[in-house]
């Protein structure tokens, strides 16, 4: 498998007539973890919805090995995780997983709950769990389908820092076992640096790619690592407006930014 190719010439919401994405070309190789970073309203969720097949109203194509993703379905499974855990509140934790896995897969569901350290609470309902625990169930559910591609839209938002760090560790453990391709949307640069093989920075809407950069830091990483701090500082020094999706004419130098990252 050669991986995923996203080519968006234009995405305009018909109801408002506003062009949201413009000339985006993004390739993801098998096993690659790609973070998409950009300012709020840039079009990150729009892009993810398009890759998920939830929004087909755009000019361009999304393919795997030249096969259109949502026509020929070349991938076995796509997994999702969103900002909210989106668990079924009337089902227990175990039943939330079995809803996706099928009733006969109890052993697999229990193994996933063990991997996210939730064995003791399989009979609890989502409403009885903390936000962090709910996210752990959602993470287990996202991996339960053994995805070839995992789409994550700010999945650790609004968690306290230690809980988010713990979840990032669980994500890395699960990801490194089966290595699905990941598109991980965040506006938190340190998180992207701590997780990803590559970071794609988007501009303000209409979004285009302002920088596509490898992250060659050793794993495991944490948002507080010295290396992560240094790269974070270097990137923002080279372009103080990077996170606003703006290109600072004077200091902007793609080559030096890519060099800083390697």
**Based on CB atoms, which residue is closest to ligand ADP, 38 or 79?**
38
Residue 11 as a binder of ligand ADP (CB under 6 A): the answer is no
Q: Is 92 in the site for ligand ADP (CB under 6 A)?
A: no
Among 28, 42, 133, 139, binds ligand ADP (CB under 6 A): 42
226-234: long-range contacts, CB 8 A cutoff, minimum separation 24: 228/190, 228/193, 228/194, 231/193, 231/260, 231/261, 232/189, 232/190, 232/193, 234/260
Nearer to ligand ADP, 49 or 251 (CB): 49
> How far apart are the C-alpha atoms of 76 and 148, rounded to whole Å?
7
- Exactly one of 43, 79, 126, 245 binds ligand ADP (CB under 6 A); which one? 43
Q: Is the distance from CB of 134 to CB of 158 less than 8 angstroms?
A: no
C-alpha 38/C-alpha 15 separation (Å) is 23
Could you give the CA distance from residue 24 to residue 21 in angstroms, rounded to a whole number?
7
Stretch that binds ligand ADP, among 12-20, 84-92, 164-172, 243-251 (CB under 6 A): 12-20
Q: Which is nearer to ligand ADP, 42 or 62 (CB)?
A: 42
Please state, in angstroms and rounded to a whole number, the distance separating the CA atoms of residues 120 and 118.
6
Q: How far apart are CA 125 and CA 206, in angstroms?
A: 41
Q: Which is nearer to ligand ADP, 19 or 172 (CB)?
A: 19
Angle among Cα 228, 234, 236 to the nearest 5 degrees reads 100
Q: Provide the phi-psi class of 37: left if phi over 0, else alpha when psi is between -120 and 50, else beta.
A: beta
For ligand ADP, the closer of residues 86 and 179 by Cβ is 86
Residue of 44, 135, 136, 141 interacting with ligand ADP (CB under 6 A) = 44
Q: Which is closer to ligand ADP, CB of 48 or CB of 194?
A: 48
Binding test (CB under 6 A) with ligand ADP, winner from 13, 82, 175, 252: 13
- What is the distance between the alpha carbons of residues 143 and 155, in angstroms, rounded to a whole number? 14
The reply to whether 40 sits near ligand ADP by the rule CB under 6 A is yes
Q: Does residue 186 touch ligand ADP according to CB under 6 A?
A: no
Please tell me whether residue 46 binds ligand ADP under the rule CB under 6 A.
yes
* CB closer to ligand ADP, 34 vs 42: 42
Q: Of residues 45, 63, 92, 134, which one binds ligand ADP by CB under 6 A?
A: 45
- CB contact at 8 A, 79 and 180: yes
Q: What are phi and psi of 43, to 5 degrees?
A: 125, 20
- Write out the residues near ligand ADP by the rule CB under 6 A: 13, 15-16, 20, 38, 40-46, 205
């Amino acid at each position: 498998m050669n991986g995923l190719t996203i080519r968006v010439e234009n995405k305009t919401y018909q109801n408002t007539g506003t062009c949201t994405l413009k000339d985006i070309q993004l390739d993801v190789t098998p096993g690659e973890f790609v973070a998409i970073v950009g300012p709020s309203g840039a079009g990150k969720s729009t892009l993810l919805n398009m890759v998920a097949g939830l929004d087909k109203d755009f000019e361009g194509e999304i393919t795997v090995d030249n096969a259109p993703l949502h026509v020929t379905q070349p991938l076995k499974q796509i997994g999702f995780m969103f900002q909210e855990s989106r668990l079924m509140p009337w089902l227990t934790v175990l039943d939330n997983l079995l809803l996706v896995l099928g009733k006969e897969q109890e052993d697999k569901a229990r193994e996933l709950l063990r991997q996210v350290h939730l064995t003791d609470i399989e009979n609890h309902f989502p409403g009885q769990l903390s936000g962090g625990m709910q996210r752990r169930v959602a993470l287990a559910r996202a991996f339960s389908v053994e995805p070839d591609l995992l789409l994550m839209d700010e999945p650790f938002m609004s968690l306290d820092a230690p809980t988010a760090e713990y979840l990032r560790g669980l994500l890395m453990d699960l990801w490194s076992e089966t290595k699905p391709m990941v598109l991980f949307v965040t506006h938190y640069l340190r998180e992207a640096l701590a997780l990803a093989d590559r970071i794609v920075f988007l501009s303000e809407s209409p979004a285009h790619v302002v920088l596509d950069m490898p992250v060659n830091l050793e794993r495991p990483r944490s948002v507080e690592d010295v290396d992560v701090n240094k790269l974070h500082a270097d990137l923002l020094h080279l372009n103080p407006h990077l996170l606003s999706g703006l290109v600072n004419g004077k200091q902007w130098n793609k080559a030096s930014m890519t060099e800083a990252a390697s």
